Chains A and B, each alone.
Chain A
């Protein structure tokens, strides 16, 4: 019973790590080029991994964006496209840009605030 439990815990940790690796588009490109996406049992495994969408499992994810990639991976068309390096690069760029979204927004707000203060100062004078 104990070995069963440890086995399950190990499996949990491995699957947790693996599902989050799917957030890395370069890794996905890597998998696609080595033909993993053509393997039916691998595709079944990807479908099985969808259980991470449940809230009681999702709370362990550090990179929840991997779930979106997992959903996209259910589509054969997406899996086929990932063989292209440009596709992976595009996804990578978009991901990074999106990642920076809030910091850019905050910078813009700060800039706007600074400009406003400057205007107030000049008008007071």
Chain B
């Protein structure tokens, strides 16, 4: 349009040829620049469009990754639980194996402690029967411990040695047999051997629940524990 107007004005206004050509040139320049800018805008539009597509793709990938992350977390949780439970099972297996005793031994022991009425009263027990769930006075005296010292007191139990019933019974020996005589016991079986005296206080002795305190030895001081 401008060019047409200029052309018309050029026809009408002859005395300004120099300026017109300058303006025309400027116009042409501007038009060229404008065209270029248009192209640039088009390109930018395309690029923008592509960017939007890529953004969508990126979003999709992000959500995929998050989904995967969730699944991995779940899997880890399940595996961790499974591993933990397996470890617990192993622990209990180990524990059971450690405490394994042959059933025969258990039966023998159960028989031994029940047959002597040590843990279960005899069926005919009535008050007045001198038998007890613990070693009685008579039994204590007739054992090795009693033989070592002269008995000086009477009837700790309230059962006097002159008790007719008691006298009629054979003294019960406390140790059921003497397995050490058949050399069942190796040196490992004997009571823990120590080098110190009982007089020494172990560390933390005053605490009632202390379990891991070092134990002291017997030697000759153990004789102080014998009853008289």
Contacts and interface: CB of A to CB of B under 8 A. Distances in A.
Interface of A: 5, 8-18, 20-21, 23-27, 30-31, 36, 39-45, 47-48, 50-51, 55-57, 59-60, 62-66, 74-77, 95-96, 98-103, 106
Nearest to A89: B158
A18 B202 contact: no
B191 A39 contact: no
A26 B227 contact: no
Contacts of A10: 144
Given A45-B218, A75-B208, 11 more contacts: A23-B133, A27-B134, A30-B156, A36-B225, A42-B198, A47-B202, A48-B215, A48-B218, A63-B118, A96-B132, A101-B120
Interface residues of B, number: 61
Contacts of A102: 120-121
Is chain A's binding surface mostly helix, strand, loop or mixed? Answer: helix
Given A47-B213, A51-B192, A41 B199 contact: yes
Interface in B171-228: 174-176, 178-180, 185, 187, 189-193, 197-202, 205, 208, 213, 215-218, 221-222, 224-227
A26 B221 CA distance: 24
Nearest to B221: A41
Given A12-B190, A30-B156, A100 B218 contact: no
B227 A40 contact: no
A64 B178 CA distance: 17
Contacts of A62: 112-113, 116, 118, 174-176
B157 A24 contact: yes
B24 interface: no
A60 B218 contact: no
Contacts of B134: 20-21, 23-25, 27, 63, 65-66, 95
A44 B216 contact: yes
Contact of B175 (A48, A50, A60, A99): A60
Contacts of A36: 225
B140 interface: yes
A121 B146 CA distance: 57
A7 to B, nearest CB: 10
B4 interface: no
B191 A20 contact: no
A48 B156 CA distance: 25
Interface in B136-183: 136-137, 140, 143-145, 148, 153, 156-158, 174-176, 178-180
A120 to B, nearest CB: 26
